[in-house]
Structure 1
Amino acid sequence: MNDNDKQQGPDNGGSNPWMKNLLIWVGIFLALAVFVTIFNGPAQPAATSTIAYSAFLDKVEAGNVRDVNVAGEVISGTLKDGSKFRTYAMVQDPELTPSLRKNGVVITAKPEDGPPIWQYLLMQSLPFLLMLGLAFFILRQMQKNSGSGAMGFGKSRAKMLTQREGKVTFDDVAGIDEAREELQEIVEFLKDPTKFARLGGKIPKGALLVGSPGTGKTLLARAIAGEAGVPFFTISGSDFVEMFVGVGASRVRDMFEQAKKSAPCIVFIDEIDAVGRHRGAGLGNGNDEREQTLNQLLVEMDGFEANEGIIIIAATNRPDVLDPALLRPGRFDRRVTVPLPDIEGRVKIIEVHMKKVPIAPDVDARTIARGTPGMSGADLANLVNEAALMAARLGKRLVAMAQFETAKDRVIMGTEWKSLVMTDDEKRMTAYHEAGHALVRIHEPASDPIHKATIIPRGGALGMVVSLPERDSYSYHRDKMYADLATVMGGRVAEQLIFGYDKVSSGASGDIKQATKLARAMVMQWGMSDKLGPLQYEEQQGETFLGYSQTQRHNMSNETALMIDSEIRALVDGGLARATEVLTKHIDQLHLIAGALLEYETLTGDEIKRLASGQDIGRIDSDMKGPSVPAGGTSIPKTRRPKGPFGSPAPQGA
């Protein structure tokens, strides 16, 4: 018998659970029918009719009655035509017997037969039996839904996934090659445990997957089980914790008992930080339910040997809050980091998800990957899905690059505000604001290339300039930081140059926040201040009272604090001065870019470069008749954006 047969065996017995439920309900209805029948008494023959006592007397006087049986107040009998009758005498009639004798009626005085003893006992016990059966049925359903056991509390809620529920292999996992290779030997051990035992090697009992949300930790664990062809138990850390004391520990014990019966297997605990937090860091007295559950988990992980074939794989994005006893060798021996994918990884992930979507020939996965730095595997899957949905709404048969670009804008920048009402003055200021960002970025060699600039309101911004890095960056250089400071301040400077000091808007609030954050990091974390030197003046704290982490300054003198604030101010002012120099020198280019944004609303990076060099942008808008914006044209055409009933200006984004 192979592993698949073992996994499919338990399902054969419960192939028709709806039939069992149907039989139970049929039995309940039959019991109720019997109960009603018994209480209504034995059914009378269909021919027996109940008549009034006066009518009975008239029939006796007329000689139509053959025989009667007197049982107290109930009188029953047979008429001469053979029909049965029944009547009730409310008071004892002394003239009844003489009248019956006179008319030749046969008289008997036999009491009516009552129900048999078994029927009497059943009638007395049936209500209790029905209530007991109904309670048993309800408890049975509760146990089935909550994992069996006494009320289902102490049983594990781990679900076993079989190959029929979707087999996942390493071919479905892309972009995390290093993590996949590190877990490859676990697959080899599950396939052939004796390979390692011959040389005295012990496979790790547990592996901890650490990574940001959406990086594919759960998918990677399922791929290990799929490659090895073994059962895969999955449970969340929150499923162990219950309001009843001791339930979590009982569920841990039951989970390992189930795993041992299905060994070799993989037990995957998602979000283990919900149950594995550092002991003593909670609000209780150190003996709460969560800590009892953690203690039981530690004991159970020590209680089985590697040769039993149980591999514990856990996932978390908060490894800093886990208890040290959980991470020591012998429990979670191996810690595997699942990072955000780089550009090559993103290309592979996008290609994996594109296999399920009909793709047009113009789609380039590498171009999409270049424009999605920092996205996780889940984000990229959502991007492909958004593009497919958009193509379906447009009635397309294939998903083209245009749909991917629109989907990327929606994921990164937010949904387009089609109903936002903006005046011409607000649109003009937004266009110059974004043109200022774009122009400074063009003239800063260390800055990232521009992907597009738009004044279409999206998300919380009236417009934005999106850059497209040539490659993934894992460290920042000083020249790029200076360039970014100048670029961020370019929008504010453009407003002041064009509209004057008194007309500067609040649209640069996000830019100011971004510039201040970057300058503070340069001074306090990265040691890029000549006056303060290469020292770190702030640090990342651990878990606080409410479970949050925060950044705080070291203890320092007032003079040092003032110097830090002064250096931060100097860096931001430097960026402001650099942006002012660039925009003042190239004021004609600023007018060109702003005018084109007002006409076309969205410009690509190449079009902005052509405008800055005095060339025609080389396109004809499908909504406009006539050629594209000529060099030097800065007129404000009428807007083509639809109007809506509400909306107020939001801060312009960078």
Structure 2
Amino acid sequence: MSDPKRPPNPWIKSLGLWAAILLALVVVVNVIQGPSTSATGTVLAYSDFLTKVDEGSVKGIEFRGGEIQGKTQADEAFRTTIPPLGDPTLIQKLREKGVRFDAKPEEQRGFLAQLLLSMLPFVLMIGIWIFVMRQMQNGGGRGGAMGFGKSRAKLLVPKEGRVTFDDVAGIDEAREELQEIVEFLRDPQKFNRLGGKIPKGALLVGPPGTGKTLLARAIAGEANVPFFNISGSDFVEMFVGVGASRVRDMFEQAKKSSPCIIFIDEIDAVGRSRGAGLGGGNDEREQTLNQLLVEMDGFDANEGIIIVAATNRPDVLDPALLRPGRFDRQVTVGRPDIEGREKILVVHMRKVPMAPDVNPRVIARGTPGFSGADLANLVNEAALLAARRGKRLVAMAEFEDAKDRVMMGTERKSMVMTDDEKKMTAYHEAGHAVVSLHEAASDPIHKATIIPRGRALGLVMRLPERDQYSYHRDKMFANLSVSMGGRVAEEVIFGHDKVSSGASSDISYATDLAKNMVTQWGMSDKLGPLKYGENQEEVFLGHSVTKTQNVSEETARVIDAEVKAIVMAGYDRAKQVLTDNIDQLHRVAAALLELETLSGDEIKRVLAGEQIVRSSGLTSLPSPGSTGVSAIPKTGRRGGFEAPAPI
């Protein structure tokens, strides 16, 4: 169904106009030509006509160009066509038979009609050519085939989709830094009286989903000025010079709407450092960047035009783009803390009917590291779950399930495992859980499950009690021990020969963590507090041509030895914990086999010998391995634990 408020397509409008003009020309020609006399009567073959003449049954005829029209003795009309070469004996035969005949010239069109008819094809061709050229230049806007030199910036007027600072939460520091821009756009004289100049550009830097675009729209909404939105990739085309033309056109549009804001999203697509490409100075991207630099701070002052750009890769931007006079400020838009997450949740919960038991503070505590986009997705997932369950309000249970789905993946309950597969998964996850409980620096366990989620057959999720911005050595070693807990549990319970490939993700995590500790964070006693790079091959046009030697071979061997020693220290620690607490390993595994999912508090109650009450009633803990599930075994990752990556 079409939107009644949507404006008509200019391309269709132009096509209809030319069709109407063509129809009018045809009508004019027909009117000028006048009504034509249509021939009537039976159509005869020329041979039949001659036979009738010989029989004397033809009363009279009339020659009209290449056609003969006549009547028989019975006053029946007929007509026939003269052969191409004519018939020289026809006149003599008509005289002999006493047939009256006459000749009239063929009807001629008027001079004006002939002129219009002769010019009609040319007029039609010229009209089509004009129509095509207009569409190529304008494209019904700026997206035509020949409109690639026009800017693709979309203008968002203040009344359409207005966003204010009330819609932006969790990034108060960034909002305060941009408040000056809003005040300048509202009252420029306030700053001009003191000789102050507002920053020409502000660069928003931060991870994806933290609200950079939303913040830029809020600036325009608060200042109540036009807002031009464009992506960095919209400037670059395969034709050299197109990007520069689009930059010029964009600033020309902005000058007409001044004061205004131009927002360039993902500016790193066009603002990368020059001299790094294969095209040298004639590279299309570099020419586009040069034009952008000139427009932002050239001889022509663009008063009232403020550039706001966003990127999550500020390290690759050209230094000339970041200097004062272009992007005077770099505003960091980071992931929100617990206070910010709570405010963001409140904003997104406005349009969703909430049950009384929903507590945004509790949800914010359980979502460390979530960005604004992640929290918006969480609220949406909870609303979808409530709708599927036939509820009118979104309760806390839906938020918990949605959080597990976002963090750990969707449950694959249709994936049925054999008794041995399920038992090994249970002991693997129990190994992670038991080691985590015995590591003082480890984050508390949020949930352990042997229900397949995502690509894992099981999972242990840990969540920090507060926002963490740095990690200490003891926490890193605790994470190494916990990551090795699943592999060690398989060895202790099932033997060395029965160890599976399920610990692949755990081993990868432990190796990367140990390598960063040695080469990036200076936590190796042998190598000291130094940063070491990695030896790597450089690829040029798909071929490895050179090898970058960042460390010597001897140092590389020491690094490998230190990484192995750190990982094996975590392995030995996990083995010691599980060997000393084998009974706890059996209890947690048995509880997972029975209940499939346990919270952190339930795991502690299991270790204390208490029973767990679920909605289905009182549940007693079985002995390990007492399950009757049988099915075709599935392949996949055994499982793992989830922990924030150290920074």
Q: Give the TM-score of the pair, scaled to structure 2.
A: 0.88
Q: What SS does structure 2 have at the residue aligned with 1:286?
A: helix
Offset of residue 553 of structure 1? 9.9
Offset of residue 484 of structure 1? 1.4
In structure 1, distance between residues paired with 2:6 and 2:417: 66
1:7 aligns with none
Compared CA separation, residues 329 and 78, structure 1 to 2 (3 A): farther
1:75 aligns with 68
Compared CA separation, residues 540 and 27, structure 1 to 2 (3 A): farther
Tell me, yes or no, if structure 1 residue 134 matches structure 2 residue 167: no
Offset of residue 313 of structure 1? 0.9
1:269 aligns with 264
In structure 1, distance between residues paired with 2:169 and 2:74: 95
Sequence identity of aligned pairs in percent?
Answer: 66
In structure 2, distance between residues paired with 1:145 and 1:236: 21
Mean CA deviation greater in 354-363 or 552-561: 552-561
In structure 2, distance between residues paired with 1:534 and 1:139: 67
1:396 aligns with 391
Q: Is the 8 A contact 1:422 1:648 kept in 2?
A: no
Offset of residue 493 of structure 1? 1.7
1:302 to 297, 306, 323: 297
Q: Is the 8 A contact 1:61 1:103 kept in 2?
A: no
Q: Is the 8 A contact 1:156 1:252 kept in 2?
A: yes
Q: What SS does structure 2 have at the residue aligned with 1:335?
A: strand
Q: Is the 8 A contact 1:70 1:108 kept in 2?
A: yes
Q: Is the 8 A contact 1:60 1:103 kept in 2?
A: no
Compared CA separation, residues 89 and 512, structure 1 to 2 (3 A): closer
Tell me, yes or no, if structure 1 residue 429 matches structure 2 residue 424: yes
Q: What SS does structure 2 have at the residue aligned with 1:115?
A: coil
In structure 2, distance between residues paired with 1:340 and 1:306: 36
In structure 1, distance between residues paired with 2:567 and 2:93: 127
Q: What SS does structure 1 have at the residue aligned with 2:309?
A: strand
2:438 aligns with 443
Offset of residue 111 of structure 1? 1.6
2:105 to 107, 111, 135: 111
Q: What SS does structure 2 have at the residue aligned with 1:308?
A: coil
Offset of residue 64 of structure 1? 7.2
Aligned partner of 2:13: which letter?
A: K
In structure 1, distance between residues paired with 2:19 and 2:296: 47
1:527 to 522, 532, 535: 522
Offset of residue 18 of structure 1? 7.9
RMSD over equivalenced CA pairs, Å: 3.4
Tell me the alpha carbon deviations over residues 2-56 of structure 1, each in whole angstroms, 9 at most, x when there is no partner. xxxxxxxxxx996684873563364277379669989x99754375664445458
1:39-438 to 2 correspondences below 5 Å: 43-45=36-38, 47=40, 50-53=43-46, 54-55=48-49, 58=52, 65=59, 68-71=61-64, 73-76=66-69, 86-90=79-83, 91-92=86-87, 94=89, 96=91, 99=94, 105=100, 107-142=101-136, 143-144=138-139, 147=142, 151-303=146-298, 308-438=303-433
Q: Is the 8 A contact 1:193 1:307 kept in 2?
A: no
Q: What SS does structure 2 have at the residue aligned with 1:312?
A: strand
Q: Is the 8 A contact 1:276 1:294 kept in 2?
A: yes
Offset of residue 146 of structure 1? 6.2
Tell me the alpha carbon deviations over residues 224-270 of structure 1, each in whole angstroms, 9 at most, x when there is no partner. 11111111111111111112221111111111111001101111111
Offset of residue 304 of structure 1? 6.9
Compared CA separation, residues 246 and 19, structure 1 to 2 (3 A): closer
Compared CA separation, residues 406 and 131, structure 1 to 2 (3 A): farther
Unaligned runs of 5+ in 1: 1-11
Tell me, yes or no, if structure 1 residue 23 matches structure 2 residue 16: yes
Tell me the alpha carbon deviations over residues 148-173 of structure 1, each in whole angstroms, 9 at most, x when there is no partner. 78921211111101234311111111
Compared CA separation, residues 132 and 312, structure 1 to 2 (3 A): same
2:640 aligns with 653
Compared CA separation, residues 132 and 14, structure 1 to 2 (3 A): farther
Aligned partner of 1:69: which letter?
A: E
Compared CA separation, residues 45 and 83, structure 1 to 2 (3 A): farther
Q: What SS does structure 2 have at the residue aligned with 1:165?
A: coil
Compared CA separation, residues 290 and 16, structure 1 to 2 (3 A): closer
Q: Give the TM-score of the pair, scaled to structure 1.
A: 0.87
1:485 aligns with 480
Mean CA deviation greater in 190-199 or 564-573: 564-573
Compared CA separation, residues 457 and 98, structure 1 to 2 (3 A): closer
Offset of residue 187 of structure 1? 0.7
Mean CA deviation greater in 55-64 or 396-405: 55-64
In structure 1, distance between residues paired with 2:474 and 2:288: 52
1:637 aligns with 627
Q: What SS does structure 2 have at the residue aligned with 1:163?
A: coil
Unaligned runs of 5+ in 2: 642-647
Offset of residue 442 of structure 1? 1.3
Tell me the alpha carbon deviations over residues 498-545 of structure 1, each in whole angstroms, 9 at most, x when there is no partner. 11222222222211221222222222222223333333234899x997
2:463 aligns with 468
Mean CA deviation greater in 15-24 or 267-276: 15-24
1:517 to 500, 512, 515: 512
Offset of residue 403 of structure 1? 2.1
Tell me the alpha carbon deviations over residues 116-144 of structure 1, each in whole angstroms, 9 at most, x when there is no partner. 33333333333333233334334434432
Compared CA separation, residues 48 and 271, structure 1 to 2 (3 A): farther
Offset of residue 320 of structure 1? 1.1
Aligned partner of 2:288: which letter?
A: T
